[in-house]
């Protein structure tokens, strides 16, 4: 039977791939954004600055603090990449989200399992780069390959998972290629690409490892699966993998999170603790209004947690680094963890 031997969770924010002296580029985007989720409600940037004035965020955004956080982030990324390589996996299953890269509004499923034999991993087109904000463009290198490539997919395992989850109540969508079309990425999106490039160096050290992307629509209303549903979905995926009659080593990965684009450390700490302690009641009780915008990517971690249940692997937090970038408390709280 297939064996789930390893799990990893890692943020994938553009800040991770941007020198701290340039984090202000993303802060400029924040100031233009009219709708920031914070404590379950939508606020303007200026409202946030006022709401959070007692927190003295100025101490969080000095050049020294941001530089130290950036350097710590890089150490953790290098460490996690090495851990994945050391796990000697046959397949890495990644739970990630899409932000209108591969999945556009014509058809936007809650859950999608990629069952192609090849995973297209390609550079971003010049046209898309030209439309990106400077703060995103400067970090794009971390989620695309040095040269266009086709990664090894895992169609047989994917089809086995798809069959099993559908039998057990999850009517997932399926895709076996990525169509090249206007306003979309030609290759797989950021949640997966960040793993492939920044953590795994375009698979140079793991040329035989296959990968299996699973998309959760964490971001876009109205069909975002709630947190409890992502947990249950992850469990079904994990059960299906463990039932597969093949002698292979499988790793599970969560991509993205924690809170952004407004950092809410209390939400993050509550959910990290719940993941660590297998506290499903707390996870299932978390209001969906606390899991909007980028913070929704925590659902990728909860799905991974579900897939890793029953394996005996325990979650270990490597580090949590709230990377503030503005007086409004915007930024991205980075999380790095392992199940081992």
| Residue 63 beta carbon to Fe ion: minimum distance, rounded to whole angstroms | 26
Compare residues 244 and 261 and give the one whose CB is closer to Fe ion.
261
Compare residues 96 and 327 and give the one whose CB is closer to Fe ion.
96
C-alpha–C-alpha distance, residues 55 and 76, integer Å: 27
Cross-strand bridge partners of residue 25? none
| Residue 249 beta carbon to Fe ion: minimum distance, rounded to whole angstroms | 27
DSSP state string for 56-113: -GGGGSSHHHHHHHHHHHHHHHHHHHHHHHHT--SEEEEEE--SSSS--TTS--SEEE
Inter-residue contact 212 to 253 (CB < 8 Å) = no
| Residue 246 beta carbon to Fe ion: minimum distance, rounded to whole angstroms | 31
Phi, psi of 223 (to 5 degrees): -115, 40
| Residue 312 beta carbon to Fe ion: minimum distance, rounded to whole angstroms | 30
Which residues in 244-273 contact Fe ion (CB under 5 A)? 256
Number of residues that bind Fe ion (CB under 5 A): 1
| Residue 203 beta carbon to Fe ion: minimum distance, rounded to whole angstroms | 21
Compare residues 16 and 241 and give the one whose CB is closer to Fe ion.
16
Which residue, judged by CB position, is nearest to Fe ion in the bound state? 256
Closest listed residue to residue 178, CA positions, set 222, 253, 112: 112
Compare residues 256 and 322 and give the one whose CB is closer to Fe ion.
256
Compare residues 213 and 256 and give the one whose CB is closer to Fe ion.
256
Residue 153 binds Fe ion, judged by CB under 5 A: no
Query: What is the edge-to-edge ordering of all strands in the sheet holding 315-324?
Result: 173-175, 111-114, 210-216, 91-96, 249-255, 3-10, 331-339, 315-324
Compare residues 160 and 190 and give the one whose CB is closer to Fe ion.
190
| Residue 333 beta carbon to Fe ion: minimum distance, rounded to whole angstroms | 13
Closest listed residue to residue 178, CA positions, set 107, 254, 102, 234: 102
C-alpha–C-alpha distance, residues 282 and 274, integer Å: 6
C-alpha–C-alpha distance, residues 293 and 148, integer Å: 30
Residue 120 binds Fe ion, judged by CB under 5 A: no
Token pair 């002698």 in the structure block, residue: 247
| Residue 64 beta carbon to Fe ion: minimum distance, rounded to whole angstroms | 27
Compare residues 256 and 329 and give the one whose CB is closer to Fe ion.
256
Q: Which residues bind Fe ion (CB under 5 A)?
A: 256
């Amino acid at each position: 039977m297939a064996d789930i031997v390893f799990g990893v969770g890692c943020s994938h924010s553009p800040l991770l791939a941007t020198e701290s002296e340039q984090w202000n580029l993303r802060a400029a985007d924040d100031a233009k954004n009219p709708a920031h989720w914070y404590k379950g409600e939508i606020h303007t940037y200026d409202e946030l600055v006022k709401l959070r004035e007692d927190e003295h965020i100025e101490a969080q955004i000095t050049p020294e603090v941001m530089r130290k956080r950036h350097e710590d982030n890089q150490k953790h990324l290098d460490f996690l990449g090495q851990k994945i390589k050391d796990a000697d996996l046959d397949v890495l299953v990644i739970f990630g989200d899409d932000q209108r890269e591969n999945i556009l509004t014509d058809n936007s499923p809650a859950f999608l399992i990629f069952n192609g034999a090849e995973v297209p991993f390609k550079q971003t087109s010049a046209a898309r780069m030209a439309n990106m904000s400077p703060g995103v463009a400067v970090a794009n290198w971390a989620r695309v390959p040095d040269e266009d490539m086709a990664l090894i997919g895992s169609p047989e395992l994917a089809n086995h998972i798809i069959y099993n989850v559908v039998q057990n109540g999850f009517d997932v969508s399926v895709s076996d290629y990525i169509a090249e079309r206007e306003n979309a990425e030609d290759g797989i999106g950021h949640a997966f690409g960040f793993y492939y490039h920044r953590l795994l160096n375009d698979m140079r050290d793991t040329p035989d490892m296959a990968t299996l992307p699973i998309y959760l629509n964490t971001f876009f209303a109205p069909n975002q699966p709630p947190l409890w549903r992502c947990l249950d979905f992850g469990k079904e995926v994990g059960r299906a993998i463990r039932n597969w009659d093949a002698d292979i080593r499988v790793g599970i990965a969560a991509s993205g999170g924690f809170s952004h684009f407004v950092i809410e450390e209390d939400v993050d700490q509550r959910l990290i603790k719940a993941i660590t302690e297998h506290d499903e009641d707390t996870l299932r009780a978390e209001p969906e209004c606390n899991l909007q915008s980028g913070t929704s990517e925590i659902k990728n971690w909860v799905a991974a947690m579900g897939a890793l249940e029953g394996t005996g692997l325990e979650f270990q937090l490597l580090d949590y680094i709230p990377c503030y970038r503005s007086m409004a408390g915007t930024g991205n709280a980075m999380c790095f963890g392992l199940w081992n």
